[in-house]
Every structure is written in C-alpha cells, then in structure tokens.
Amino acid sequence: MGERKVWFITGTSSGLGRALAEEVLAKGDKVVATARKPEVLPDLVEKYPDTAFAAKLDVTNRENVKDSINEAIEKFGRIDVLVNNAGYGLVGAVEEPGDEQIRQIFETNVFGVLNVLRGALPVLRRQKSGHIINISSRLGFAAFPSYGYYSATKFALHGLSESLAQEVAPLGIKVTIAEPGGIRTKFNDKGVVQPENLLPEDYPSTAAFNNYLSEGDGKQFSDPHKIAKVLIEVVESENPPLHLPLGEDAYPKIEEQFDKIMKEISLWREKGSNTGYQSAIV
C-alpha cells in the first residue's frame, strides 16, 4: 500500500461530500472533513481517530478558509486532493429571486470555490503535486428554465476549471470537473432555495421545475457512494479526465446539448464568419 493521501473536502455534513469522506476513510486515506457546523461530524472522527479530522469551514469567509487550510497542514502535513463540493441550488426564473438570493448563491457556489482554491493553491504549488476536483453538474452544460442561477454558477465553474487545469498542469497539479446528474441525496429537499418573488402567471416554469424536483426526489439515478468510488478511482488513475460526467442521466443531456449547439452554429456559420475587414481597393 502506498502513502496515504490527504483529502480536503468541503460540504461533508451530508450528501455526496459525506459519502466521499466515508469512502476515502474506509479505503485508508486521510480526510479533512469540513462543514459550517462541524458538530455534525464527530462519528467520522470517532470511527477513524487517526485519519479523520473535522474542521469548521464557511467557504464564503476567507479568514475561515485560511484557518481551516492551516489546520489541515498542521494535522496531516499536506493536502493531496482538494474537493470543492459545498454548494446549493436556487429555483426561480431570472426575475423571481431577490438580489441578495442571487448574490448569495454566487458567493457560495463560485466565490466560495475561489476562496478555497486560492487558499489551497500555494500549498499544492509548494508540493508540486495535487489533484483538484470541482463538483459541478450536468446543468453546467445545459440549463433548465427556472434553475438558471444554479446553472450559471456551474457554467462559471467550468470555465474557471478549464483555465485552471492549463495553468497548473506544469506545476504537477491535476484538475477534474465532476459533472453528475441526479444523486439520491437530500439536496432536492434541503439544498434548494425558493425565490422571493413568484410570478406564476408569467413563469409557470418555476412550478414545473419544483414539481420535477419533488417527483424525482428519492428516485435520482446515482448512488452517492458509487460516485465517491469513481472519484477515488479517478484520483488514483495515471491520466485523470478534466471532464467527468457521472450517472447514466448525465451523458445524454450533455451529448444532446453539444449536438444542439453544433446544429445551431452550422446554420449561421457562413454569415457569422463573414465579419472581417474587406481588403482595401487600390
């Protein structure tokens, strides 16, 4: 058995983050399990006293991020795998959520990821090694009506991750964007915020999307523990993917979106390409 890796995972109080922490610890690696309320994590530390460490982390608080990373280094000496998993959803057509609701989801899902990334990258650079896994979604490729703000945060995460991967590859650091479909967790129930200003007559898509969430709750395709095992396998692989769809329901949605885009751009390619300056007539 090789040296145990140290995983730093955000959002481990429940769902995929919790499942991943459990699978990593069962495998024998070490985990810094973070949550806004670390008091929900004592059973992990009790079961794995030598390899599990619970840290308080609010990803929107940069000082808290810095402190938790320092605690991880003090405890285990390094960070080998950084998993940005913390995040939530916001239902509503573009007009419906309040200003603070919109800002807050970006604070958590985008700037929170940035806070953790920018806090951990100096550690990974000094090590000249590491693997960053950013948990995105199939909705980072194709948006649903009345769930655009969540998709927008995941679209941002895709662009950021693709750039980051090219920047850090020469430093020995790998990046993977996990793009799951539905995962059978409590996310649909507890991880989704409703908009402040419903306009049901104009935007019936909001009610339709809420029905989709409620009807699908408990029937999502993917088992979070199976997804966790795939993520572990990716970290252990020689050539991990940058893009990693997860779940049988993720692949068709992503492929359908690519096909749709290719058809659309081909229709307007001639006109869209013909935008250059004409040669000067002498």
Domains of the chain, with CATH numbers? 6-249 (3.40.50.720)
pLDDT value of position 183: 78
pLDDT value of position 38: 80
pLDDT value of position 184: 76
Residues in the chain where the model's pLDDT stays below 50: 1
> What sign does the CA torsion over 137, 141, 145, 150 have?
positive
Q: Global pTM?
A: 0.93
pLDDT value of position 3: 81
Tens of pLDDT, residues 100-137: 999 999 999 999 999 999 999 999 999 999 999 999 99
118, two tokens: 């920018």
pLDDT value of position 221: 65
Known catalytic residues are 136, 150, 154
Tens of pLDDT, residues 55-99: 999 999 999 999 999 999 999 999 999 999 999 999 999 999 999
pLDDT value of position 186: 63
